[in-house]
Structure 1
């Protein structure tokens, strides 16, 4: 994925005793951080963690199967399903034609008959071919049946921008899907996030959309002893404090969590203590964790790839205004988003359309009323 050599470095943990790791590229590639639960005993890529989580759940429950384009013999477009076809066979790892509407509809129907499908989209952009099944069938079935017919299904695949994939393959669907009653929407950052959330999604009786990130699949993170248990899950609807701080709350999700943590390092060198929240769950959103952090810091900045209008940051801003969180705010909230344009193809324009660490630093400077030296 990265053309440069990757170097790994341990970073001093917070007061809670959580160890932190960084993966930094020697060129202009982003820096990736993770806070692990307990002591790290092994490293695993995000791709491997998702596969391990699916494998454990397929082994645990025979009603679980995975369906999608190239998930079987090719082992997934991003190799997330590597080895599953060989282990479980063609009845539980099912290749399909290139027809999202067809195989998504089949999977939703199967979920009405006590099966637990995992639908892999080669990219969430292609899910629009099947959006009727997701929004009108899966999301609404439990309500329309008076609680008599559940839809335990997982929709998963890469979401957001990649490298040079341009306007039709680079959009973030977190805010889109997070608007829909009946859906749950989760967005992992690290390997532990990915494993814990995919297992929770498969076990959930409701339709869950898992928004992964293509540029994170090959990134390695430390895995704790706890995450190696087959009973390890991350509860849907619970955020994670990646880094504790006292001056400003910085909220992000998915790949942008890495930029948030990198920003926190920059600000720490300038004397500003940043608390970083990894949302993990877009819907339901962990309002309690956000509120508790704002009560402590009095300031809030959100960071997301998605467009600014009606985005995740906008929802957090509304939540602050509508709850007691507003009473604790010492400065206006700041949002850092992707540019309000379709994603350009050229690398220079793509970079300009995406939020950068410098943008987040500037937002924190504004909300803390500081102008820090370069």
Structure 2
């Protein structure tokens, strides 16, 4: 069992991040923030998939003011993503956002940061200090590694917030490079107790980006580091949510929806395992219950894996044995495997 680092907890709207709360799944909209209806619709879709907190870009004052209407239409807490202009953070807080993210690399001098902190204190809004390898402060020590530069940037901002009496802080240190991200988060986890948001920034397209993110976040989560996460993929952000939960499910940190176990198939298989697994996965994708379903192609691992699942099928020549909670409940012809398996899933 993974022993998680016990961080301080913060409240982002109605969601607790850190402490004994589970690792929270986040995403970010890619609509034009000034298009209220499109943004609200995308948030609703993300929430329906299990997104628990959503971040929204605030490129200008119009976007900051639009957040008030977006907030009214959102069922989940909103983080305002602020770069360059501290006044956008002030306006976003006036619009009622649940958290602001500031980037030490571009937010401006200490007085501007203090203005954001004072507004956040007045409204009881937490601040995320979000450092990216691609936008480090100009005064970063060139003699240090990138991970050390990221940690330095975080700690400088943390001390500034703490000096102002502010401790509702969350931290993120992200890079495209997995080892850099891992090193930075390991280091920061040892020197502060604030909750950590994890991610691999600009991870890429869904296929390669999911792998890169799973490797980086998997290492940290297995070590007990991390209180929230985002899988940053190019394209529709809805793709990010299932990947995030798959990472957490793989480490037994969260359970949401069905889990499919299927063998890769080999020359011993007498049925089309891939086709059956795809059909089962399509049916399972429409379900929300927590259930493990196994689709196995032969007698080597098939019976054992099927027995370990809630429901499973171990296929043989032209037929398959359906297992439920470790017991064979029936044997059916190959053409009936899908329907028979799903009937048993519905009973669990």
Q: What TM-score do the two structures reach when normalised by structure 1? A: 0.33
Q: Which structure is higher in helix share? A: 2
Larger RCO of the pair (alpha carbons < 8 Å, separation 6+): 1
Q: Which has the larger radius of gyration?
A: 2
Q: What TM-score do the two structures reach when normalised by structure 2? A: 0.34
